[in-house]
Amino acid sequence: MKVLEEIKKKLEAEVSVSEIYYEGPEVIVYTREPEKLTDERIRATVKEFKRRMEVRPDSSILLDPEASEKLIREIVPPEANITDISFIPEFNKVIIEAEKPGIVIGKAGQTLAEVKSKIKWIPDIVRKPIIPSHIIRTIRDTLKKESKDRRSFLKRVGIRIHERRTKSTDWVRVCPLGGFREVGRSAVLVQSNESNILLDCGVNVAAEGKDAYPFLDALGFDLKQLDAVVISHAHLDHSGFLPYLYRFGYEGPTYTTAPTRDLMTLLQIDFVDIAQREGKNMPYTKEDIKNVIKNTITLPWGDVTDITPDTRLTLNNSGHILGSSVTHLHVGEGMHNIVYTGDFKFGPTSLLERSHTEFTRCETMIMESTYGSSQDLQPNRRDCELMVIDMIRRTMENKGKVLIPVLGVGRAQELLIILDDLAKSGQVKDMKVYIDGMIWDATAIHTAYPEFLSRRVRNLIFREDYNPFLSEIFVKVNNGEERRKIIESAEPCVILATSGMLTGGPSVEYLRGICGEKRNTIIFVSYQAEGTLGKRIQKGWTTATMSNSHGKLEEVNIALNVFTVEGFSGHSDRRQLIAYVMNSKPIPERVIIGHGEESKSLDLANALKRVGKINTVVPRNLDAIRLA
């Protein structure tokens, strides 16, 4: 409280402060004269007290909502296409949803400044997805309805972060709880004498029973004592067990980017739905997923944020999927810095920029090794794109259909960019691309966050007013009847469908319908695990047993062309993994290796020792490592 009193005293030399308190990682200041606190003055206060700060207008000066909405619509040009205006009195904010947020903001922020000066409410501008998204609407509606509870929650978090500080941090250690010498159920506990932080909380969807989940029973403390969870990205092996924490006692915040929050909600809900259809018991419900949404604090890349009494968090692009982040933890006042890569791609793709490598300090790096062996060398990405384009062109010329089984998030959107380029080039005329499964919902979320995409795609959207995800060649498949018509049609086409390993979903239905004809093609761009239908076809099996439309098993002939194109992975290959470490600034003193088969992790560790003279560790799950 002493810090708040000092900040208040400092500011009251210029303005009257009606209220000041902690809200999550920020100091919130209410005043009847917000216009007197310039951006420069706020930045100077933040720098002096090392606290993020937000200035809000006192409720007494706010224009009433009806008059405010009228003024907003008068001031903002109609081409912004405002779709919703919602007032959140708990935070004295107004959320303005628009198809073109840049027009709401205006040149050099002039339009937004005019709105703010006349209505006094703090405008919060959000982008309406160009493709309607039920997930984004659900999340935004939940946050509006729960704003009173969320304010109380953020106040509790703020007190826990800022009012429990001691003079020093005495020690730092990490303990892997899942995802080491294996892939799946990623979870890393970072501890000091002040903090308990969990990095990721995933499931192994290919395992059953206790092998599917992290070793949370080894925490050694009640979940209420967990200070923070940081989610690197949305894939279930990194976020799929998070709702369980809230079901069984965790009451704290989850930190991640906004697109990761939205995508992990989509994947977690789908995970529950599939389990229910298959009659499996789930460790959590959709109500627990709602609690994740309510307790998630989203951060932009690059912001330094206090998350515990002695730890600051910074997220930066990891290049893996939309919103995925490299996590940087600064523990103690300069005591130890940890970089947790999560899954990352150290190379540009059509969809995303390559992963971030510059950190203020980095004593310890915790990195993945999915493709860490000396044999894991991926071909050039552009060559892979050209191979896919050539296969599609030849198949279409033969009046055939191309099936590409894909993961719903990441790989699918990468292919949409490539297929849009193919259509614009004119190499394939009258091409239709049918999109089935989760892909459409995930793509809708991509359209809400273009600022997280590659420079090229951002330029197309912002400068050329062209969104490649809205290409006229893409057609959403809504139901089984439309799916049947596509299969029975003589029309040449491309089909993108989940699941990527042909373990279920619409991709299997399409395969059953087109696999008997030599003019058709299946292209594998995703990893195919042993035992899956995808792996058997990849190996050259000429028959397969699949359920027919009546649910009965039958043997079908596999006569279509089968191609595998390596190199579309969102993970770094062996060369990129080593290059990432050696190009990091600074180069880490110690590298802890996980998220890979045991042999791959050990192989990568030996290579880093040999090439970079770096101290490497390949722990097993539950091996605690003292860092400082």
**CATH number of residue 76's parent domain:** 3.30.300.20
Pairing state between β 82-88 and 93-98: antiparallel
Residue 519's nearest CA partner among 363, 627, 391, 382 is: 391
Mean pLDDT within 500-526: 92
Looking at the structure, tell me whether residues 122 and 187 fall in a common domain: no
Respond yes or no on whether the N-terminal peptide bond of residue 89 is cis (omega within 30° of 0).
no
pLDDT at 167: 66
Per-residue pLDDT tens for 3-26? 899 999 999 988 999 999 999 999
In a domain, 188, yes or no: yes
Mean pLDDT within 262-288: 92
Give the DSSP letter string of 255-315. Answer: EE-HHHHHHHHHHHHHHHHHHHHTT---SS-HHHHHHHHHTEEE--TT-EEEEETTEEEEE
Instruction: Say whether pLDDT at 165 is over 80.
Output: no
In a domain, 494, yes or no: yes
Instruction: Say whether pLDDT at 560 is over 70.
Output: yes
Looking at the structure, tell me whether residues 410 and 361 fall in a common domain: no
Total number of domains constituting the chain:
4
How far is CA 241 from its chain centroid? 15
What token pair was written down for 540?
Answer: 């050259």
pLDDT band at 545 (very low <50, low <70, confident <90, very high): confident
Q: Please state, in angstroms and rounded to a whole number, the distance separating the CA atoms of residues 295 and 25.
A: 13
In a domain, 337, yes or no: yes
| Structural contact between residues 305 and 52, judged by C-beta atoms closer than 8 angstroms | yes
Looking at the structure, tell me whether residues 56 and 68 fall in a common domain: no
Task: Single out the residue in 519, 534, 564 at which a domain terminates.
Answer: 564
pLDDT at 428: 84
Q: Please state, in angstroms and rounded to a whole number, the distance separating the CA atoms of residues 116 and 119.
A: 6
In a domain, 43, yes or no: yes
| Structural contact between residues 305 and 299, judged by C-beta atoms closer than 8 angstroms | yes
Query: End-to-end distance of the chain based on CA atoms, in angstroms?
Result: 30
pLDDT at 50: 87
Q: Please state, in angstroms and rounded to a whole number, the distance separating the CA atoms of residues 155 and 165.
A: 16
pLDDT at 1: 66
pLDDT at 512: 93
3-class state of residue 535 by DSSP:
helix
In a domain, 133, yes or no: no
Domain that holds residue 37: 2-60
Residue 434's nearest CA partner among 481, 483, 401, 476 is: 476
Per-residue pLDDT tens for 210-232? 899 999 999 989 999 999 999 99
In a domain, 139, yes or no: no
Q: Please state, in angstroms and rounded to a whole number, the distance separating the CA atoms of residues 9 and 4.
A: 9
Mean pLDDT within 144-154: 96
AA identity, residue 321: I
How far is CA 224 from its chain centroid? 25
| Structural contact between residues 506 and 483, judged by C-beta atoms closer than 8 angstroms | yes
According to DSSP, the residues that pair with 55 across neighbouring strands are 29
CATH number for 50: 3.30.300.230
In a domain, 142, yes or no: no
pLDDT at 397: 92
Lowest mean pLDDT among 236-250, 447-461, 495-509: 495-509
Other Cβ atoms within 10 Å of 294 Cβ, number: 17
Looking at the structure, tell me whether residues 429 and 498 fall in a common domain: yes
Other Cβ atoms within 10 Å of 269 Cβ, number: 18
Looking at the structure, tell me whether residues 407 and 490 fall in a common domain: yes
How far is CA 571 from its chain centroid? 14
Largest CA distance in the chain: 82
What token pair was written down for 398?
Answer: 């033969």
CATH number for 390: 3.40.50.10890
Per-residue pLDDT tens for 417-456? 999 999 998 888 889 999 998 999 999 999 999 999 999 9
Q: What percent of the chain has pLDDT over 90?
A: 82
Q: Please state, in angstroms and rounded to a whole number, the distance separating the CA atoms of residues 319 and 345.
A: 5
Looking at the structure, tell me whether residues 122 and 159 fall in a common domain: no
| Structural contact between residues 249 and 222, judged by C-beta atoms closer than 8 angstroms | yes
pLDDT band at 63 (very low <50, low <70, confident <90, very high): very high
- More confident call, 9 vs 208: 9
Phi and psi of 362, rounded to 5°? Answer: -155, 100
In a domain, 519, yes or no: yes
Looking at the structure, tell me whether residues 342 and 441 fall in a common domain: no
Looking at the structure, tell me whether residues 493 and 576 fall in a common domain: no
Rg (alpha carbons) of the chain, rounded to whole number: 26
According to DSSP, the residues that pair with 312 across neighbouring strands are 306, 330
Instruction: Say whether pLDDT at 208 is over 90.
Output: no
Looking at the structure, tell me whether residues 226 and 352 fall in a common domain: yes
Looking at the structure, tell me whether residues 175 and 272 fall in a common domain: yes
pLDDT at 277: 85
How far is CA 320 from its chain centroid? 9
Residue 403 contacts by C-beta under 8 Å, 6 or more apart in sequence? Answer: 495, 497, 507, 510, 511, 514, 520, 521, 522, 523, 560
Q: What average pLDDT is seen over the chain?
A: 94
Looking at the structure, tell me whether residues 453 and 331 fall in a common domain: no
DSSP assigned state of 84: E
CATH number for 224: 3.60.15.10
Looking at the structure, tell me whether residues 598 and 619 fall in a common domain: yes
Q: Please state, in angstroms and rounded to a whole number, the distance separating the CA atoms of residues 122 and 370.
A: 45
Q: Is 402 left (phi over 0), alpha (psi -120 to 50) or beta?
A: beta
